[in-house]
C-alpha cells in the first residue's frame, strides 16, 4: 500500500492527551502531527467526516494548540477496543500554524 501523506509527520515520545474543546473530555492521545493533520490513538470509534474542536499542549510550547479538525478515517488498532483516527486540520490560527511549520522543520533536520 502506497503512503499518500503529503507532509512528514512529527511522532512524539511523550504521552500527549487530546481534549474535546466543547466537553473538555479527553478523546485520545496524539500519535503524530503535521501542518495538515494529526493522528490519535483512542478508545472511541469516531465517525468519518465528523467535525471537532480539540486542544492539546506540546512539550516546550507555551500556548496549548486549539484546532478545528475533521475525521477522515478510522482503523482498528492492534489493542482490543482501540482505534487509530486520522484528522485533517481545518481551522488553526496563524501563530500556531507557524509553530507547526517550525516543528516540522526541526523534525526534518533531526
Q: pTM for this one?
A: 0.84
Q: Which residues of 1-28 are buried (b: 16+ CB within 10 A; e: fewer)?
A: eeeeeeeebbeeeeebebbebeeeeebb
Whole-number pLDDT of residue 108: 42
Whole-number pLDDT of residue 3: 46
Mean pLDDT of each 10-residue bin along the chain, 110 residues long: 50 87 96 92 94 92 93 91 96 92 61
Q: In order of start, what are the domains of the chain with their CATH numbers?
A: 10-109 (2.40.10.220)
Amino acid at each position: 500500500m502506497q503512503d499518500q501523506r503529503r507532509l512528514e509527520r512529527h511522532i512524539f515520545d511523550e504521552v500527549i492527551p487530546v481534549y474535546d474543546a466543547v466537553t473538555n473530555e479527553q478523546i485520545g492521545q496524539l500519535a503524530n502531527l503535521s501542518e495538515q493533520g494529526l493522528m490519535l490513538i483512542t478508545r472511541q470509534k469516531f465517525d468519518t467526516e465528523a467535525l471537532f474542536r480539540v486542544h492539546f499542549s506540546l512539550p516546550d510550547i507555551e500556548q496549548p494548540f486549539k484546532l478545528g479538525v475533521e475525521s477522515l478515517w478510522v482503523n482498528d488498532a492492534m489493542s482490543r477496543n482501540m482505534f487509530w483516527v486520522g484528522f485533517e486540520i481545518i481551522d488553526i490560527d496563524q501563530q500556531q500554524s507557524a509553530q507547526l511549520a517550525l516543528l516540522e522543520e526541526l523534525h526534518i533536520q533531526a
